[in-house]
Amino acid sequence: MKLLIFIVLLCYIILILRYRFGWDNIKKYRRTIFTPNVTVVISMRNEENKIEKLLKSLQSQIYPTDKLEFILVNDHSTDNTLSILKQLQFDNLKIIDLADAEYGKKNAIKKAVSIADSEIILASDADCIFNPYWVQVMVRYFKDERVKLVSGPVTYHQQQGFFQNIQTLEFISLISSGAGAIGIRNAIFCNGANMAYRKDVFMELNNFSLDNIASGDDVFLLHSVKAKYPDSITFAKDERAIVSTDAEPTFSGFINQRKRWASKSTSYKDIASIYTSYIVLFVNFSMVSLFFMCFLNPQLINLLLSFYLIKFGTDIILLYPTLKFFKRHDLIKWIFPFEFFYSFYIVLIALLSVTNKFEWKGRMHSK
């Protein structure tokens, strides 16, 4: 038992150290002028309260207006989203209302990309806020003809409270792991709130057979690009590329969101992504198992404490530079208690993602 736990922990340490190496290996792109035609694509469902902020943030972009296009897709909203969109007076804006036979974020993005006039697609979500240089920074990576997909940094709006801080810390840990994996040329995931890709690559590789899966518009495309075009994926390690989005306000909403994210992992075919998922699950399952075993055998407490401290020290190696990048030094003090919460939460999500349905944008989905 102890030997197995040691092996799992060792594999985890090696994994995180590689991601830290990958993070350090990503260099800031030198500032060059490159302004290709670009289309910003955003799927919207029941977003009437977010349109105003979204519009202001999009209009703030410092980019040639004759080379910038916006496509907002209404995914059968049941509130006033569509009527508000139709009233917008916005240069280079296209509004799409999905047909009855089409629904879901993946179909919305597919529809938008198919009619986009640009060679570069920049995808995000309706609850996001952007730096004025966001478009400019994200697209300049495509000056390199070898680049097919750019993964961008995402964080949560800064809020007070234990739950919000723990949630943000967990989210940044995901983003940093994804960036670190890209840095070692073995991409595993990205976030659909901030990603860019070439239109022709999307049309070539978008996996239509997975359209029945509610989410995964980001990760499945990433895996397809990785399989066909190795070394063509990069991460935008630039503070101006950071996109801010909303954290879940309630614990039930948080659990539901993570169930949705975890549900798509059963369809992964990328070996590195599958390996990472299992190592993270097993190391946290080991922590939970040790915790409960201590009640039966108190002599295991020292082993639990050692395991906890080693994992804590390992995670700090990756989290410290990424928290510095996101300017969230305030979260460093939450890492120690976060380790305990995270282990139980990961095991719970793994169980719920297999047995439970989840709700997303007012629709119920199974995994």
Q: Where are the domains of the chain?
A: 2-20+271-365, 30-257
pLDDT band at residue 32 under the 50/70/90 scheme: confident
pTM score: 0.91
Query: 38 forms bridges with which residues in the sheet?
Result: 68, 120
**200-252 confidence digits (pLDDT tens):** 999 999 865 555 555 567 899 999 999 999 999 999 999 999 999 988 888 88
**262-295 confidence digits (pLDDT tens):** 766 667 889 999 999 999 999 999 999 999 999 9
Q: Across the chain, what does the average pLDDT equal?
A: 90
Closest CA to 245 of 159, 349, 184, 328: 159
The DSSP output letter for 41 is: E
* Portion of the chain with pLDDT greater than 70, in percent: 92
Residue 165 buriedness (CB in 10 A; 0-12 / 13-18 / 19+): buried
Half-sphere exposure of 116 (CA within 13 A, CB side): 32
Q: Are strands 93-97 and 68-74 parallel, antiparallel or unpaired?
A: parallel
Cα–Cα distance for residue pair 43/61, rounded to 1 Å: 19
Backbone angles phi, psi at 75, to 5 degrees: -100, 70
Architecture of domain 30-257: Alpha-Beta Complex (3.90)
What is the full DSSP assignment across 241-298?
A: G-EEEPPPSSHHHHHHHHHHHHHGGGG---HHHHHHHHHHHHHHHHHHHHHHHHHH-G
Which amino acid makes up residue 123?
A
Closest CA to 141 of 34, 219, 221, 24: 34
Residue 15 buriedness (CB in 10 A; 0-12 / 13-18 / 19+): buried
Closest CA to 81 of 91, 96, 101, 67: 96
Cα–Cα distance for residue pair 235/227, rounded to 1 Å: 17
